[in-house]
Amino acid sequence: MNTINIGLIGFGTIGSGVVATLNQNINLIEEKVHKNVRLKRIVDLDITTDRGVEVNQEILSTNVEDILEDDEIDIVIELVGGYQPALSFILKAMENGKHVVTANKALLAKHWQEIINCATKNQVRVCFEASVGGGIPLLAPLNDGLAANNIEKVYGIINGTANYILTKMADAELDFDVVLKEAQLMGYAEQDPTFDIEGHDTAQKLIILGMLSFGIYVEQDKFHVEGITKITPDDIKFAREELNSVVKLLAIAQVDDECELEIRVHPTLVPQNHLLASVNDVFNAVYMVGDIVGPVLMYGQGAGMMPTASAVVADCIDIIQDMERPVDYGPSQGRVKKIKEMSNVESKYYMRITALDKTGVLHSISGILSDHNISIESVSQKKADHGEAIPIFMVTHHSLEKNMQKAIQLIDKLDFVKEETLIIRLL
Amino acid sequence: MNTINIGLIGFGTIGSGVVATLNQNINLIEEKVHKNVRLKRIVDLDITTDRGVEVNQEILSTNVEDILEDDEIDIVIELVGGYQPALSFILKAMENGKHVVTANKALLAKHWQEIINCATKNQVRVCFEASVGGGIPLLAPLNDGLAANNIEKVYGIINGTANYILTKMADAELDFDVVLKEAQLMGYAEQDPTFDIEGHDTAQKLIILGMLSFGIYVEQDKFHVEGITKITPDDIKFAREELNSVVKLLAIAQVDDECELEIRVHPTLVPQNHLLASVNDVFNAVYMVGDIVGPVLMYGQGAGMMPTASAVVADCIDIIQDMERPVDYGPSQGRVKKIKEMSNVESKYYMRITALDKTGVLHSISGILSDHNISIESVSQKKADHGEAIPIFMVTHHSLEKNMQKAIQLIDKLDFVKEETLIIRLL
C-alpha cells in the first residue's frame, strides 16, 4: 500500500477537528481508500497552544513552505480562512500539483473563477464540501446524485446563528437583542455578529450553491441580501397564528419560466407544512428541486468543529479515491439567460406598518397600495388607546418588488406612520 | 470524445423514465462526463406497447443477448425486477466486463454477497442508488459524504405507500382499510399491498442500508419486521394528543455501546419535533447519525418513474466519470460484534389494551406488567357504558421486549380483554 500525505494549514477549531477525526477513525479511512493516510505536516503561526487533541509535535511547523514545497504532500487542507494569505496558499499548492480541500466560503465566493481556473490548469482537484452546510453531504449530492437533473430551485437555511436566533425568538417570544446576547454567551454567535445576522455569510454560501446548481457566478454585491435584525416577536406571532408559517432566513436561487435566475437572501415566511419550517436551532438544510427528481432536502449541522471536520476529511477521502476525476464545477452552460433584478421579483408580502390609531389610516395606506397595483389579501389591526402607535399587519397578493418598495416609501412618509414599515416575503 | 454505450434491460415504468430522462437532459449529461452517451439497446419481452416516450424503434430487442454479448456496451441497467432472470442478467453482464446499475432492492437484499463478489472479481462497478429512497441521493452520501464517520444510527421512512397511508389516517382520522382502498385507487398502493404494508419492502431496503452503514449483512427472516395494518385512528389520536408524536413505519439499525446491532422494522412513535415526523405522504427520508458529523437527514421522493430514473441515470454518470474506482461496499470490518436478538431490545412502549370496563381490570393488568418488570409511565381510560369493551392506553418506561411479549400474552388471556393488545414502540 502506498501512502497519501496530507498537509494541514490552519490549526484552529476546524483544524483540530480534522486531527481528532483522523485520530479517531484512521483505520476506517485507510480501509476505505486502500492506502496509508498520513497527516505529514501541520502549519500554523501558533504551534504551542494545546488544542486538546493528540498530535505528534514533530509535524508542527510555522513555515507554510514546509507544506507547499514538500513534494511528498499530495493533499493540502486550507483552514486559514479569509482572503489572504489563504488564496496564495491555495494557488501555490495547486501550482505545485497538490489537490486542495478548503472550507473557506468567503474565498470561494470572491475568487471562484481564479481558483477553479487554477485547478483546471494544473489538473488537480479543489474540494469544498465543508464550505456550505458544514457536515451535511450537500455539494457532492448536488453535483453527482442529481447529475441527471437541471436544478430549478435551491432554498437554503445555511446560517446556524441566524436560525438559532429565529428559533429561540419563536419559542420564547423574546426580542432579537435578548436572544442575540444569549446566543453570544452560548458561543452560537460571534462578538461581532454582523456577518451572520445581516445575511452576508448566507450570501457567500449561496454564491457557491448558485455556481454548482446553475453554472452562474454572481458577485455578492450584485444581489439582494437582507438580515434578520428587524424581525420582532410580533412578526413571528402573526406568522404563526394567522399564516401558519415561520420566519426563516432563506438563501433563494431559482430559475423561472423565462430562464431568468432569481438570487436573493432575506427573511422569508415558510409554511409550517414545508420541511424547511422544521429546521430549527443551529441546524442547516438545503431544499432543492430538480426537473427529474422533484424536491430533495439535505439536513444536518452546518457548522462546528466536528461536523465541519467530517466534510473536510470526506473531501480528502474522495480525492484519494479519485485523483484523476476531471475537474468540473457546475454546468458550464446552464439554462440561465439572465439574472433577474430584485425589483422585478414577484412575491406575496407580509407587512407590518406601525401607525397611530386614527380615522382614515387604513384608507390612506390601502390607497397607496392600490395605486401601486398591490392588492391586499388580509389585514389585521388591534385596538389601541387613542394616540398610541399600533402595528397593522397586512398580507398582499403577488406583487412586484419595485411596486412594493415605492409603496413603502410613500407609506413611511405618512405623518401617522411612526416606524419604518417591515416586509417579509412569503415563500 | 469517445462514446459510452448503455444497454437497458426492462422497459417498464422506471425504464421509460430512464429513456425520458436521457431524452430530456442528454446535453447536460454529456457535458458533465465529456463523452458521448448513447442508449444503444433496450431489451424487453414487450417491444410494441407505446410507453409514451420517444424512442428509436431500431434499438428495441426481445433478446437479452443483444445487450449481454455486445462488446460495445459499457453499462447495463437492470430494471427487470425480481430474483430471476434478473440475477442471471446482472452476473452475466459483470462477467462480460460490463458495469451494472440496478434498482432491484429485492435482489440485492437476497443475493448481496454473490453480486458484490462478482463485481469485485470482474473489477466492474455495481451501483444501486435507486434501490433505497428512489431519487434521494442517499447511498453515495452515506458511502462518500460520511466516509470519515462510523455510522451509529440509521432511521428510515423508506416505503412511500405505508407513509402515505399513515399520513392520511392521521389527517382525515380514517381507518386503515378505508385509506388503503383510496391509496389503491390513486395508484399509491398495489392491488396486493402486502409487500408494502407488512414492512417487507422496508426490510429489504434496510438490509442494503445496514450493509453500507455497518458492513453487516442480515437476512430478511433474521430480524423483526412488523407492518402497519393494526394501527387505528385511536392510536394516532392518542399519540398526537398525549405524546405529541406521530406514527411512522421506521426502518431502524443502530449500534449500542456494547457494539451490538439492533435491526428492526416496525411502526414507531416519533416525537413531533423530530424531523422525521414531518416526512409525510409518499415522501421518504433517512436520518443517520455519524460519530463525527452527528445527525444528517436526506429527504425526497422514494419511488415513482422520474425520481427513480434520476437515481439510475446519476449512477450511470458516476460510473462513466469513474470506471476505475475500486469496488467497495460498506466497511468490511465494522465495529459490530453481534446482532442483538429482538427479545433483548429495550424500548418505551405505547399499549392499547381493549377490555371490558369492570372493577379490577386495571389492577390485573398492572399486576402482570409489574411482574414482568415493566413500569407504567401513564395510563388513560375513557368511561364506557357498562359491559362495553373500551381501549385502555398505556405508556411504559423503558422495558425489555421479551418481558413485554410475555406480559402481552398473559394480558390477552384475561377474560375481560376482548381484542389483541397492540404495542407501538417509541423512538
Is the pLDDT reported for residue A401 higher than 80?
A: yes
Does residue B277 sit in the same domain as residue B350?
Answer: no
User: Which residue, among B310, B313, B319, would best test binding to A if mutated, counting the most A CBs under 10 Å from its CB?
Assistant: B310
Q: What are phi and psi of A395, to 5 degrees?
A: -125, 130
- Look at residues B76, B103, B135 and tell me which one is the last residue of a structural domain: B135
User: Which residue, among A75, A127, A296, would best test binding to B if mutated, counting the most B CBs under 10 Å from its CB?
Assistant: A296
Beta-bridged to residue B355, according to DSSP, are B390, B417
Q: Do the Cβ atoms of B32 and A331 come within 8 Å? A: yes
Q: Do the Cβ atoms of A301 and B293 come within 8 Å? A: yes
Q: Do the Cβ atoms of B145 and A314 come within 8 Å? A: yes
Does residue A233 sit in the same domain as residue A365?
Answer: no
Q: How far apart are CA A130 and CA A312, in angstroms?
A: 6
Find out whether A196 and A159 touch, Cβ atoms under 8 Å. Answer: yes
Chain B residues whose CB is inside 8 A of the A31 CB are: 331-333
Nearest to A25 among B24, B292, B301 (CB): B292
Residue A327 counted as domain residue:
no
Does residue A127 sit in the same domain as residue A145?
Answer: no
B288 touches chain A (CB under 8 A): no
pLDDT of residue A359: 85
- Distances from the Cα of A250 to the Cα of A201, A285, B341, angstroms: 12, 10, 45
Residue B397 counted as domain residue:
yes
Nearest to A307 among B138, B293, B300 (CB): B293
- Distances from the Cα of B187 to the Cα of A82, A404, B122, B184, B402, angstroms: 53, 44, 40, 5, 39
Largest CA distance in chain B: 84
Find out whether B249 and B233 touch, Cβ atoms under 8 Å. Answer: no
Look over chain A and give the mean of its residue pLDDT values, rounded to a whole number: 95
- Look at residues B117, B135, B153 and tell me which one is the last residue of a structural domain: B135
Q: How far apart are CA A106 and CA A199, in angstroms?
A: 13
| Radius of gyration of chain A measured on its C-alpha atoms | 24
Secondary element (H or E) of residue A226? none
Q: What are phi and psi of B224, to 5 degrees?
A: -75, 120
Helices (H), B215-304: 233-243
Residue A280 counted as domain residue:
yes
A146 touches chain B (CB under 8 A): yes
Does residue A147 sit in the same domain as residue A241?
Answer: yes
Beta-bridged to residue A399, according to DSSP, are A347
A101 touches chain B (CB under 8 A): no
Which chain B residues in 151-180 lie under 8 Å from chain A, judged by CB atoms? none
Chain A residues whose CB is inside 8 A of the B140 CB are: 140-141, 144-145
Which chain B residues in 29-58 lie under 8 Å from chain A, judged by CB atoms? 29, 31-32, 34
Does residue B243 sit in the same domain as residue B382?
Answer: no
Q: pLDDT class for A333, splitting at 50, 70, 90? A: low
Catalytic: which of A92, A168, A205, A248?
A: A205
Residue B16 counted as domain residue:
yes
Three-class DSSP category at B338: strand
**Crossing angle (nearest 10°) for helices A305-321 and A13-33:** 40
Is the pLDDT reported for residue A82 higher than 80?
A: yes
B144 touches chain A (CB under 8 A): yes
| Number of domains forming the structure of chain B | 3
Does residue A221 sit in the same domain as residue A107?
Answer: no
Nearest to A31 among B290, B311, B332 (CB): B332
Expressed as residue numbers, the domain containing B32 is: 3-135
Tell me, what CATH number does A63's domain have?
A: 3.40.50.720
Residue A284 counted as domain residue:
yes
Largest CA distance in chain A: 84
Q: Do the Cβ atoms of B314 and A135 come within 8 Å? A: no
Joined together, the cell numbers standing for residue B160 give 412511500
Give Cα A389 to chain centroid, integer Å. Answer: 36
Give, for all 427 residues of chain B, the pLDDT tens digit: 699 999 999 999 999 999 999 999 999 999 999 999 999 999 999 999 999 999 999 999 999 999 999 999 999 999 999 999 999 999 999 999 999 999 999 999 999 999 999 999 999 999 999 999 999 999 999 999 999 999 999 999 999 999 999 999 999 999 999 999 999 999 899 999 999 999 999 999 999 999 999 999 999 999 999 999 999 999 999 999 999 999 999 999 999 989 999 999 999 999 999 999 999 999 999 999 999 999 999 999 999 999 999 999 999 999 999 887 767 777 776 788 999 999 999 999 999 999 998 888 999 999 999 999 999 999 998 777 667 889 999 999 999 999 999 999 999 999 999 999 999 999 9
Tell me, what CATH number does A352's domain have?
A: 3.30.70.260
| First CA to last CA distance, chain A | 53
Beta-bridged to residue B365, according to DSSP, are none
Give the β-pairing of B126-127 and B224-225: unpaired
Q: What are phi and psi of B250, to 5 degrees?
A: -110, 140
CA distance, residue A283 to nearest chain B CA (Å): 10
Does residue A86 sit in the same domain as residue A74?
Answer: yes
CA distance, residue A33 to nearest chain B CA (Å): 8
- Distances from the Cα of A77 to the Cα of A7, A9, A32, A327, angstroms: 6, 6, 20, 17
CA distance, residue A352 to nearest chain B CA (Å): 29
Residue A332 counted as domain residue:
no
CA distance, residue B137 to nearest chain A CA (Å): 5
CB atoms within 10 A of CB A219: 10
Does residue A369 sit in the same domain as residue A390?
Answer: yes
Q: pLDDT class for A328, splitting at 50, 70, 90? A: confident
Which chain A residues in 216-275 lie under 8 Å from chain B, judged by CB atoms? 273, 275
Chain A residues whose CB is inside 8 A of the B277 CB are: 278
pLDDT of residue A383: 73
Joined together, the cell numbers standing for residue A310 give 467530517
pLDDT of residue A257: 87
pLDDT of residue A357: 85
Is the pLDDT reported for residue A324 higher than 90?
A: no
- Distances from the Cα of B305 to the Cα of B26, B191, B298, angstroms: 18, 18, 19
Does residue B297 sit in the same domain as residue B352?
Answer: no
- Look at residues B244, B272, B301 and tell me which one is the last residue of a structural domain: B301
Q: What is the mean pLDDT of residues A228-243?
A: 96
Does residue A95 sit in the same domain as residue A238?
Answer: no
Q: What are phi and psi of A265, to 5 degrees?
A: -130, 120
B300 touches chain A (CB under 8 A): yes
Helices (H), A41-193: 65-68, 86-95, 105-122, 139-140, 160-172, 176-185
Annotated catalytic sites of B, by residue?
A: 205
Joined together, the cell numbers standing for residue A261 give 435566475
Residue B58 counted as domain residue:
yes
Residue A334 counted as domain residue:
no
pLDDT of residue A116: 94
Residues 6+ apart with CB under 8 A from B302: B133, B134, B135, B136, B158, B159, B160, B282, B283, B284
The tens digit of pLDDT for each residue in A275-292 reads 999 999 999 999 999 999
Q: What angle do CA B134, A31, B137 make, to 5 degrees?
A: 15
Is the pLDDT reported for residue A386 higher than 90?
A: no
Residues 6+ apart with CB under 8 A from A174: A168, A233
Does residue A162 sit in the same domain as residue A222?
Answer: yes
Tell me, what CATH number does A165's domain have?
A: 3.30.360.10
Q: Do the Cβ atoms of A141 and B146 come within 8 Å? A: no
pLDDT of residue B331: 75
pLDDT of residue A79: 98
pLDDT of residue A329: 78
- Distances from the Cα of A270 to the Cα of A281, A396, B231, angstroms: 15, 15, 32
Does residue A37 sit in the same domain as residue A24?
Answer: yes
pLDDT of residue B333: 63
Q: Do the Cβ atoms of A137 and B145 come within 8 Å? A: yes
Joined together, the cell numbers standing for residue B295 give 445527525
A148 touches chain B (CB under 8 A): yes
Q: Is residue B368 left, alpha or beta, with left meaning phi > 0 and alpha meaning psi from -120 to 50?
A: alpha
Residues 6+ apart with CB under 8 A from A335: A150, A214, A255, A259
Residues 6+ apart with CB under 8 A from B366: B376
Q: How many CA atoms lie within 13 A of A157 on its CB side?
A: 35
Residues 6+ apart with CB under 8 A from A118: A90, A91, A94, A95
